[in-house]
Amino acid sequence: MKSSSLARRFAKALIEIGREENTYENYGKELRTALAVFKGAPDLYKVLLNPMYKLEVRRGLMEKVSESLKLSAHVAKFFNILVETRNIKMLEDIVSAYSKLEDGIAGRIKATVESPAPLAPGLLDEIKKNIGRSSGKEVLITNKTNPELLGGLVIRIENTILDGSLKTQLAMMKEKILEGVV
């Protein structure tokens, strides 16, 4: 089984529990906090995945981490399951899948607008309104700069890419010239 589908299954299991108790947003915050701790201490992964340490030792370490982060009982148990099954290494994928599920429940979508220079807040707000109007959802938008675009915009909305960049238009024009179809 691919790790991404397994990560989605783990995320879906936890979010279903969170939905039943109406705490799925808190669970998401706890997962992201824990991920930040794991990213800040990469040796923690190594210890939790190392079979040289007995399972009881690894569980004890995870329980201490859970206590220090003040994780809820379900999220702490979730982390223990990840440690026991040695799937803690997929934490980043699980958190990403959880965030997507969380956004779906809340009626949000994420969009990234890539531009050669930072966009004016008014233009970014206009793009956000248009995406929200067409999708019927709340839009969380970020602006990334990419000087290689030369001009225009690339908008990514979940799995859809709207590429109106000058770089892409020039590449397409070059292709047509090389094909002799100008």
Residue 156 pairs with which residues in a beta bridge? 112, 161
Model confidence pLDDT, tens digit, residues 154-165:
999 988 888 888
Q: 140 lies in which domain range?
A: 107-179
Same domain, 35 and 91: yes
Model confidence pLDDT, tens digit, residues 81-94:
999 999 999 999 99
Same domain, 163 and 91: no
Distance (Å, whole) CA 178 – CA 111: 34
Same domain, 118 and 67: no
pTM assigned to the model: 0.75
Same domain, 8 and 87: yes
Model confidence pLDDT, tens digit, residues 66-125:
999 999 999 999 999 999 999 999 999 999 999 999 998 988 999 999 999 998 889 999
Distance (Å, whole) CA 169 – CA 149: 10
Same domain, 15 and 73: yes
Q: Rounded to the nearest 10 degrees, what angle do helices 73-84 and 3-21 cross at?
A: 160
The alpha helices in the chain, defined as continuous H runs, are: 3-21, 24-40, 42-49, 55-69, 73-84, 91-106, 121-135, 166-179
Model confidence pLDDT, tens digit, residues 123-153:
999 999 999 999 889 999 999 999 888 888 9
CATH number for the domain spanning 44: value is 1.10.520.20
Distance (Å, whole) CA 89 – CA 137: 33
- Asked which of 104, 128, 150 is the last residue of a domain, the reply is 104
Same domain, 92 and 21: yes
Contact assessment for residue 88 and residue 118, using Cβ atoms and an 8 Å cutoff: no
Averaged pLDDT, 174-181: 83
Asked if pLDDT for residue 167 goes beyond 80, the answer is: yes
- Provide the pLDDT for residue 27: 94
Distance (Å, whole) CA 79 – CA 62: 7
